[in-house]
A and B are shown apart, each in its own frame.
Chain A
Amino acid sequence: MSPEADRPQGRAAALVEVFARLRKDSRVGLMTHIVFGYPTVEASRHLVDIMARSGVDLIEVQLPFSDPTADGPTITHACQKALDRGVRVADGLAFAREVTKKYAVPILFMSYFNVVFNYHEKGEARRGVAAFAKAAAGAGAAGLIIPDLPPEEDQERYPETCREHGLHPIYVTSPNVNDRRLEAIAKAASGFVYATSRTGTTGREVQIAMEELGRFLDRAHRLCKLPVAVGFSISKREQIEALSGKAEMAVVGSHLIQVYEKLGLSALEREIRTLAGRKD
């Protein structure tokens, strides 16, 4: 394989550039999250539009799954509602194709492994990782976040297949994980590593133990040699600033759904701009 073939191209390359730019600006980036189709597909359009215009660095588009084991009540409920309205995986892919044409900000798909494992093109019998990776890359995604696929479950060469299609396989790791597991992730991952700030599911506001988190992030950097994004219980600009020098990116998910549910779209826009550190 030539060195060029190894180098990420297209959207995957754009994701690498995002982190290069953050390093240059010594700024902690912001990845915001939506549940595709919640509350409606039209709302998802508005949300991505706001996020792209507010200077968010990455957008995580969650394809709803019926049994989201890593998610707390806010996101679980959102997934359920989207599914109840009949949202399909193909709709999420079409949506991504649409928004990645419109905006430069890289998007990543987040879902659970069963969605990937069962994906197939209309009229094709073959299901699985390669079919999904091809479709996701075709839709302009820069990577996949699949929290229930650990590195040792080598399903259809998942990380290699992602890379062959120009996608970063993003792995989620947690503070209670030992070095051996982080090393396994280091072997499989590219783009960045998604570190949860704590154990537990998404979407509960708890005090993050910063010192402990700092030690874990050091470990993750040392062993994975990739940028690290921190998610779970992040809802304030100060928290993001506190990650400076410790992590490259902050991830905000459930909090934005809650703001949107309680206060609506324009409040959400203000919130995202605050989180992104925009003063204008």
Chain B
Amino acid sequence: MNGKKAKSGQRPPVPKSPPAGKFWGLEELDGVPLPDERGHFGIYGGRYVPEMLAPALEELTESYFRWRARPEFQRELEKLWETYSCRPTPLYFAENLTRHLGGAKIYLKQEGLGATGAHKINHCLGQALLASKMGKKRLICETGAGQHGLATATVAARFGLPCTVYMGAVDMRRQATNVFWMRQLGATVVSVEEGTRTLKDAVNAAMKDWMWNVAETYFLLGSALGPHPYPAMVRDFQSVVGREVRAQLEKAEGRLPDAVIACVGGGSNSIGIFNEFLAEPQVELVGVEAGGRSLKPGEHAARFEGGRLGVVEGYKSYFLQDDDGQIQKTHSISAGLDYAGIGPQLAWLRDQGRVRFVSASDHEVIAAFQLLARQEGILSALEASHAIAYAMRYAPELPADKIVVVNLSGRGDKDIFILAEALKDPDWKAYCKDYAEGKIR
């Protein structure tokens, strides 16, 4: 629990404007570097990779910190965010939902309105711009839901770079629409048949590709995890979300939020919106993990419910694993949260009591999706619906003068097959059948 929460009834002070030109994530909290020069957040993070990747990660770290400090790089990226994607994304006061739930005011940060329909575009534009500055000739990435793959394929097309997307065979089946779009964007989508054939195996496959093509290729990692500098770099590129929320809420309400809620897969959208408020102890930060079907091993992806400290895929953090340290199967109705590890900075923030973690079950998530659709006319991605699900539980517990901001990390179009199946929609099933049989022209 967050011990530093402001006493209820007491108004948080009006926030200072963010320091001018500050473009990236918080670099220190209570004297602890975020991260240290070798990528550690306390005991978490680091760079646990085969030696042959070390030169590439050293080059990437050096280039990233050099480029991000340049005002022209920041301006170029800001322009891409504004004109190619959609920044700032709206911060919307969900009046109907607030009234319906009867508690704190709920604001939604509409990341789903950006290009490609999810927050992933923020760090993809950032990393693709960096890759082009570094003179890299090719992009590779891993993807789970396909949202990160879609965003990477998109920026690859924009920057004129060939792109290979690794995707677990299981995920390719459940996110077939994204596979189609990625191919339309010119990317090669490789089906990963190893292991559990989901996101973690796609990460491994992309890392292996990188080992073979390390000099020319840029590995565009899709969340705030992996070896240093990815957790810090992805956070930095996503920190624009929280920065906008602060300014937008200051304008709308003249104050800071009382709580910020985000779903947590690897951690990019959550750390992106949390970062701005880490040093504001009165703002409660809540991460929502995938509770899946149940909290039995293999049925969920809530690392803090059943995980243990480990070192996998280049970083130290919490992982869902068996007694021997073998990574376990995970499950979530949302492919984007279906992953055994969690970003190292979040693990550290949890230890500090700065971020509180909860989980939402598949059932709650579907109910949340439906409620938001009916109340506000917003179709949210299943990942983001986890954050809504917790807001549904939490907002009614808070008095009406409190403000909760929910990061709506993506829109729900991509989830039509999963939702139709989960909701047992007979018309959709019939349509798919007829379509497959060529009965629909």
Residues of B within 8 A of A70 (CB): 50, 211
**B186-229: which have CB < 8 Å to A?**
194-195, 200-201, 204, 207-208, 211-212, 214-215
- Interface pair A148/B204, CB less than 8 Å apart: no
**A173-211: which have CB < 8 Å to B?**
173-174, 176-178, 181, 185, 196, 199-201
Residues of B within 8 A of A72 (CB): 208
**B293-319: which have CB < 8 Å to A?**
308-314, 319
- Interface pair A118/B51, CB less than 8 Å apart: no
- Interface pair A118/B47, CB less than 8 Å apart: no
- Interface pair B51/A171, CB less than 8 Å apart: yes
- Interface pair A113/B48, CB less than 8 Å apart: yes
- Interface pair A201/B325, CB less than 8 Å apart: no
- B219 CB to nearest chain A CB (Å): 12
- Residue of A76, A113, A153 touching B194 (CB-CB under 8 A): A76
Q: Is A69 an interface residue (CB 8 A)?
A: yes
Q: How large is the interface on B (under 10, 10 to 19, 20 to 34, 35 or more residues)?
A: 35 or more
Most B Cβ at <10 Å: residue of A68, A88, A117, A178: A117
Q: Is A259 an interface residue (CB 8 A)?
A: no
- Interface pair A148/B49, CB less than 8 Å apart: yes
- Interface pair B212/A201, CB less than 8 Å apart: yes
Shortest Cβ distance from A196 into B: residue: B52
Residues of B within 8 A of A114 (CB): 310-312, 319, 321, 325, 327
- A72 CB to nearest chain B CB (Å): 7
Q: Is B38 an interface residue (CB 8 A)?
A: yes
- Residue of B211, B214, B311, B321 touching A113 (CB-CB under 8 A): B311
Q: Is A89 an interface residue (CB 8 A)?
A: yes
- Interface pair B208/A69, CB less than 8 Å apart: yes
Using A69-B207, A148-B311, A200-B212 as known contacts, say yes or no to A80 and B194 having CB atoms under 8 A apart. Answer: yes
- Interface pair A69/B327, CB less than 8 Å apart: no
Using A118-B324, A177-B51, A177-B52 as known contacts, say yes or no to A67 and B313 having CB atoms under 8 A apart. Answer: yes
Residues of B within 8 A of A171 (CB): 51
**A46-91: which have CB < 8 Å to B?**
65-70, 72-73, 76-77, 80, 83, 88-89
Size of the A side of the interface (Cβ < 8 Å), in residues, is 40
Using A177-B55, A181-B54 as known contacts, say yes or no to A65 and B326 having CB atoms under 8 A apart. Answer: yes
CA gap between A25 and B50 in the complex, in Å = 33
- Interface pair B52/A199, CB less than 8 Å apart: yes
- B193 CB to nearest chain A CB (Å): 9
Q: Is B46 an interface residue (CB 8 A)?
A: yes
Residues of A within 8 A of B319 (CB): 114
Residues of A within 8 A of B38 (CB): 152
CA gap between A153 and B310 in the complex, in Å = 14
- Residue of B54, B204, B215, B326 touching A150 (CB-CB under 8 A): B54
Chain A 250-266 interface mask (CB, 8 Å, partner B; 1/0): 00000000000000000
Chain A 162-173 interface mask (CB, 8 Å, partner B; 1/0): 000000000111
- B196 CB to nearest chain A CB (Å): 8
CA gap between A119 and B54 in the complex, in Å = 26
Q: Is A115 an interface residue (CB 8 A)?
A: yes
- Interface pair A117/B204, CB less than 8 Å apart: no
- B40 CB to nearest chain A CB (Å): 9
Residues of A within 8 A of B310 (CB): 114, 117-118
Residues of A within 8 A of B212 (CB): 199-201
Residues of A within 8 A of B312 (CB): 67, 114
- Interface pair B325/A88, CB less than 8 Å apart: no
Q: Is A147 an interface residue (CB 8 A)?
A: yes
CA gap between A94 and B321 in the complex, in Å = 22
- Interface pair A67/B49, CB less than 8 Å apart: no
Shortest Cβ distance from B324 into A: residue: A89
- B282 CB to nearest chain A CB (Å): 36
The 10 closest A-B pairs by CB, nearest first: A118-B325, A174-B52, A200-B212, A66-B326, A114-B325, A66-B327, A70-B50, A199-B52, A89-B324, A113-B311
| A contact residues vs B (CB 8 Å cutoff) | 65-70, 72-73, 76-77, 80, 83, 88-89, 113-115, 117-119, 147-150, 152-153, 155, 171-174, 176-178, 181, 185, 196, 199-201
16 contacts between A and B (CB under 8 A): A66-B195, A67-B201, A69-B314, A76-B194, A88-B324, A117-B325, A118-B324, A118-B325, A148-B48, A148-B49, A150-B54, A152-B38, A153-B46, A185-B51, A200-B208, A200-B211
Known: A69-B50, A177-B55. 15 other contacts (CB 8 A): A70-B50, A70-B211, A72-B208, A77-B194, A118-B321, A119-B324, A147-B51, A150-B51, A176-B52, A176-B55, A177-B54, A199-B211, A199-B214, A201-B211, A201-B212
